[in-house]
Amino acid sequence: MEKTVVIKEIQHDPITDAVEHIDFNIISLTEKIKVNVPLHVTGESIGVKEDGVLDVVHHEIEVECLPTDIPERIPVDITSLKIGDSVHIKELSFPSGVTPTLEENEVVVAVHAPRVEEEPVPAEGEAAEPEVVGKEKKEEGVEGGEAAPPAQEAKKEKSADKDQKEKKE
């Protein structure tokens, strides 16, 4: 007895990427089903040529249709997109009998202006060089108001204590 099925899930080996397991769902050819169809972006955006960043928000679009009407992919041409432009679900063309499940105002693809991280500009009177970590200012000290002894002085004190112990013995 033959049955019509669709692939529900494919499990891959994390190291070799070999297929380890496939789950199937039995379906009816007369009932609509929901499936994810890959989005196929074509063209080169004007905004990307102007150093904009292409943001593909949805790589797959969930659609509802009869199993015989499932499209292989959903094309979206981005050639006319400028920086700040986007493509919404309602602007995509779907084959007859295929209905997207996402809201029609949902953004699918967008072109954004590049983010530029500006370095903080030092205020007048402040040093332009960054503060060295571990270097203590003379005004700052440990609790009690005394300045912390430098590392070399602490080492000298330890070696002097050690010398005194050896002399006593």
Q: Does the pLDDT of residue 161 top 60, yes or no?
A: no
Mean pLDDT along residues 117-143: 61
Contact between 76 and 109 under an 8 Å Cβ cutoff? The reply is yes
Q: Does the pLDDT of residue 60 top 80, yes or no?
A: yes
Q: Does the pLDDT of residue 155 top 60, yes or no?
A: no
pLDDT tens-digit series, residues 4-13: 998 889 999 9
Supply the pLDDT for residue 62: 96
Give backbone dihedrals phi and psi of 134, rounded to 5 degrees, phi first: 95, -20
C-alpha span between 57 and 4 (Å, rounded): 32
pLDDT band for 148, please (50, 70, 90 cuts).
low
pLDDT tens-digit series, residues 26-56: 999 999 999 999 999 999 999 999 989 999 9
Question: In this prediction, what percent of the chain has a pLDDT beyond 70?
Answer: 69
pLDDT band for 116, please (50, 70, 90 cuts).
confident
pLDDT band for 105, please (50, 70, 90 cuts).
very high
Burial of residue 10, with CB atoms counted within 10 A of its CB: 0-12 exposed, 13-18 middle, 19 or more buried: exposed
Which domains occur in the chain, in start order?
Answer: 29-112 (2.170.120.20)
Q: Does the pLDDT of residue 167 top 80, yes or no?
A: no
